[in-house]
Amino acid sequence: MEANTRSTGRLPAAFLTPGSSSFMDFLSEHQPEMLPGNRQLPTVQGVVEAPHGTTIVAVTFPGGVVLAGDRRATMGNVIAQRDIEKVFPADEYSAVGIAGTAGLAVEMVKLFQLELEHFEKVEGAQLSLEGKANRLSTMIRSNLGMAMQGLAVVPLFAGFDVDREKGRIFSYDVTGGRSEEHGFAATGSGSVFARGAMKKLFRDDLSEEQATTLVVQALYDAADDDSATGGPDVARRIFPIVTVITEDGFRRLSDDESSEIARRILARRLEQPDGPRADLL
């Protein structure tokens, strides 16, 4: 293994060199081939078929932020997976939801989680929320080569800013461009429909419970119009993943809680398939 292959078995010099608190920086010096961005890409033409994750939505409310995602992964017109998980805790006060090539995205999240944890252990303090958002930006940018071959990863990052005491959302583009979103945001193939739904339903004074209902409504609308987004699957008991981040930290709603929200929405939609109506004026 990395340390033990050396003849003496001692920690290699790179491990004991004082320097960056970043795990990615350490990897790029010690084992650059392990960084996703440093892989040699074969020069083939055409698109690689790989499962893609679809819709992620986020909504802020006074005191926190909600991040949620549907459960479908698609490969062309095939449903590759019905119960994929696309929303992950990044650390105690932030979470990341991924849309795009599932395999690469999951690896990126794993590295991102480690990057934050590594910094925290080495420095004894957490990165600021902006700092975390910027690290994620760098990781997406390093994936640009893959993105140009059709293997893009476009996450949504949400967290509770302990300094400003509010929930914040950051969205990204394939080149790593980062922008802070106010109120609500969505990414992935169903994001257009989800954003339309949220635009009509969002208010500044949502409670946590209303915010979780709002994201599931938005995912329902996305699934309604986008074939790559999965709606609540009552028969298989597969419901959206809903996570809440407040000053108490990250919390993922249990299956019972999210199924309860989805079932209530479903019951209303049986009478009114297009969902709640907003006022005309």
Contact 38, 141 (CB under 8 A): no
* Stretch of 58-66, 68-76, 90-98, 165-173 lying at the interface with other proteins (CB under 8 A): 90-98
Residue from the set 62, 79, 82, 110 that interacts with other proteins by CB under 8 A: 110
- For residue 61, the surrounding DSSP H or E stretch is strand 56-61
Residue 71 or 195 with smaller CB distance to other proteins: 71
Say whether residue 23 binds other proteins (CB under 8 A).
yes
| Residues 221-260 as x/- pattern, contact with other proteins by CB under 8 A | ----------------------------xxxx--------
The pairing of strands 64-69 and 73-75 is unpaired
- CA angle (256 as vertex; 64, 112 as ends), nearest 5: 50
Quick count: other Cβ atoms within 10 Å of Cβ 25?
A: 14
Residue from the set 31, 175, 207, 227 that interacts with other proteins by CB under 8 A: 31
Q: How far is the CB of 252 from other proteins (least distance, A)?
A: 6
For 2, 93, 97, 185, 243, the CA distances from 88, given in Å and listed in that order, are 28, 12, 6, 17, 9
According to CB under 8 A, which residues from 114 to 153 bind other proteins? 114, 116-118, 120-122, 124, 126
* Stretch of 11-19, 50-58, 169-177, 205-213 lying at the interface with other proteins (CB under 8 A): 11-19
54 catalytic residue (yes or no): yes
Residues 6+ apart with CB under 8 A from 164: none
Handedness of CA 254, 257, 258, 260 (dihedral sign): positive
Q: Which residues bind other proteins (CB under 8 A)?
A: 1-4, 8-11, 15-16, 18, 23, 26-27, 30-31, 34, 88-92, 110-111, 113-114, 116-118, 120-122, 124, 126, 249-252
| Residues catalogued as catalytic | 54
